[in-house]
Amino acid sequence: MYRRILLPTDGSALSKEATAAGVHFARDRGAQIVAVHVIPELLDDQLEAWMHHDPHLVERRQALFDKFADDYLAFVAAKAAAFHVPCELRKVRAGEAAPGILKAAIDAKCDLIFMASHGWRNREAEMLGSETLKVLYLSKLPVLVYKPG
């Protein structure tokens, strides 16, 4: 039923757990994974660069975010390779994670988004993370939310 599964990652422990579950899910269905990490778009903040006495602050910060993205995506690629699941890696730059995830899913022609729930507990219920809610609300594709437990 599902052939291309988008698997967003932010490198967190829950995201790594969801990665493992997503790889198993894809393997069991004979699907491939498109792993994506959304890199925040940074404003060219001249005042902040001036305050830090570093005219290259924005470039250095962007390079750091790119390295984090590479590390997070390498984790997904290693998990997929261990279970012989085809995996494509993508970095997307966006102002917010949810629109970046949705754009990646459309561009990669995915038919499912498999993502972690960054939940927290209150007394009555477990709530979904805000980016997960945005993806659920805005997506025209099916979204499978992984919840640990």
Q: Among residues of the chain, what percentage have pLDDT more than 90?
A: 68
Helix orientation angle between 97-107 and 130-138, rounded to the nearest 10 degrees: 40
Q: Which two tokens stand for residue 40?
A: 């925040």
Q: What's the rounded mean pLDDT across residues 77-106?
A: 96
C-alpha 62 chain-centroid distance:
17
Q: What is the mean pLDDT of the chain?
A: 87
Note whether 15 and 9 are within 8 A (CB).
Answer: yes
| pTM of the entire predicted model | 0.85
pLDDT tens for 103-141 read 999 999 999 999 998 754 443 444 456 888 999 999 999
Could you give the residue ranges of the DSSP H alpha helices within 2-140? 13-29, 46-51, 57-82, 97-107, 130-138
Q: Torsions phi, psi of 42, nearest 5?
A: -105, 140
* Sign of the C-alpha dihedral computed for residues 80, 30, 149 and 69 taken in this order: positive
Q: What's the rounded mean pLDDT across residues 93-101?
A: 93
Please, which pLDDT band fits residue 3 given cuts at 50, 70 and 90?
very high
Q: Which of 54-63, 82-91, 111-120 has the highest mean pLDDT?
A: 82-91
Q: What's the rounded mean pLDDT across residues 9-33?
A: 96
pLDDT given at position 128 = 53
Q: Which two tokens stand for residue 26?
A: 């894809």
CA-wise closest residue to 90 among 35, 18, 16, 33: 35
Note whether 97 and 65 are within 8 A (CB).
Answer: no
The length of the chain is 149
Whether 27 shows a pLDDT value over 90: the answer reads yes
Q: What's the rounded mean pLDDT across residues 14-41?
A: 96
Name, in order, each residue with C-beta under 8 angstroms of 130's C-beta and a sequence gap of 6 or more. Answer: none
